[in-house]
A and B are shown apart, each in its own frame.
Chain A
Amino acid sequence: MIFSNQREMWLNSFWKALCLRIKWLGEGFKRQSTEVLERELEEMENGFALLTFGALVGLPTLPTYMGLRLLPYLEREILVMFIKSERLDDKLAEWADLADL
């Protein structure tokens, strides 16, 4: 009887541990899959901000008037652009980050 209970408890904890690991594995895959998407998104948001406000750095952009029209709604994109431009002089670190080193 005691032996049977112990076996059941062991099985329970084994299943729990297994489920947890599978969950972690799933989470890991999720994170890995979205990491690439998040980077792509950042690049696109950076590009969008550069298209809109690139005049600041001498890029051909849409007319100033239109840029000003969109300015109030582009807080996130502008922040991404600033962060990206801060890292421009450290491409090696960014590459290492990208390669998960």
Chain B
Amino acid sequence: MKNIFFFLGKGGVGKTTLSASLAYYLSKHNKKTYWASIDPAHNICDVIGCPAFLGAKEIERDLLAEEVDVERYLKQFLKETTAQMKRVYSYFQIINLDDMFEVIKNAPGMEESAMMHALKDIISRHRDMDHLIIDTPPTGLMLKIFTLPFITNIWLERIKMWRHKILDKRATIVAIRGKDYLGKGIVTDASKDKVLNEISVQKAAVDFLIKIFTDTQRSCFILVLNPDRLSLMEGMHIKKALSAMNIHIGLILVNKFGLTPLASTEEFYDMPMKKVPFLKVLDKERLYQLADSWAEDIIKD
């Protein structure tokens, strides 16, 4: 049974709306569901019509929703790193690292990394739920988040191998020249090396995500499109980019069907596709009905 659903697509196609419809559908069928948005421009509140909230909130019976605060993950990480730096390098006690990390916070790739860790945290914290629904940011940022574990994994594999070679070389030198020859506290044993330990911790995190992303039995990637040509073309790019990482799209939802004529969808001939009609008014009952035509199939698959 599939129990993790990722909603992907171009900005404004209706990812949040359709993720909401699946969330309501599952809660109505008494399934404990966790619905989270990792899009920095959240709009869960706008869809369900409530004021903004922090953390998880029960919006229906068996349905918890969260607009993930990525900034909090970033701050937490920087706080931990700052504390560790101060512990290891005593001279940092007199330098204000907090100002420096304000700059690092905005360094390229930091936001994506924080989102990747937020995603890992959400999935591992809610294993007791029957279903997890993840609403993702628009294509550009979404692809960066989903690519990051794969790229990071390649880097970590390489530097792990490199580190082992360094430790082997150090051990050989120390065996010939004596224990403190390379300096006091220089580690030669792989089991005591903090760098290798940190690499292993990070590798476990990315391995966890890669396993989830590529597990077609457990995870389902739902690509949301609109009938117009641009939206379909972007969908093709998403399909190609995800295939390169061995991530398969489980369902295509053509949202707002009927609003404009449907452009050619032959590029998606090998994927199940459902058409979701355009609704002017979206309330709880209508959201529930929207999922009625496609939700059952993807859960059973």
**Chain A interface residues toward B at CB < 8 A:** 30, 33-34, 37-38, 40-41, 44-45, 47-48, 51-52, 61-66, 68-76
The answer, among B108, B151, B170, for a CB contact under 8 Å with A64, is B108
Bound CA span A38–B173, Å: 7
Are A68 and B104 also in contact (CB < 8 A) when A40-B169, A44-B169 are?
Answer: yes
A75 contacts B169, C-beta separation under 8 Å: no
Contacts of B170 in A (CB 8 A): 41
Does B155 count as interface, using CB distance less than 8 angstroms? yes
The answer, among B88, B107, B110, for a CB contact under 8 Å with A72, is B88
The answer, among B77, B156, B169, B194, for a CB contact under 8 Å with A41, is B169
Contacts of B88 in A (CB 8 A): 72-73, 75
B173 contacts A70, C-beta separation under 8 Å: no
1/0 contact trace for B133-174 toward A, CB 8 Å? 000000000000000100110011011001101100110110
B89 contacts A75, C-beta separation under 8 Å: yes
Interface residues of B in 95-113 (CB under 8 A from A): 104, 107-110, 112-113
Are A66 and B173 also in contact (CB < 8 A) when A48-B163, A74-B195 are?
Answer: no
Contacts of A74 in B (CB 8 A): 195
Does B202 count as interface, using CB distance less than 8 angstroms? yes
A64 contacts B166, C-beta separation under 8 Å: no
Are A45 and B104 also in contact (CB < 8 A) when A51-B159, A71-B81 are?
Answer: no
Give A65's nearest chain B residue, CB to CB.
Answer: B113
Bound CA span A41–B176, Å: 14
Contacts of A75 in B (CB 8 A): 88-89
Contacts of A40 in B (CB 8 A): 169
B159 contacts A63, C-beta separation under 8 Å: no
Does B262 count as interface, using CB distance less than 8 angstroms? no
A72 contacts B85, C-beta separation under 8 Å: yes
Q: In angstroms, how far is the closest chain B Cβ from the Cβ of A38?
A: 6
Give A61's nearest chain B residue, CB to CB.
Answer: B155
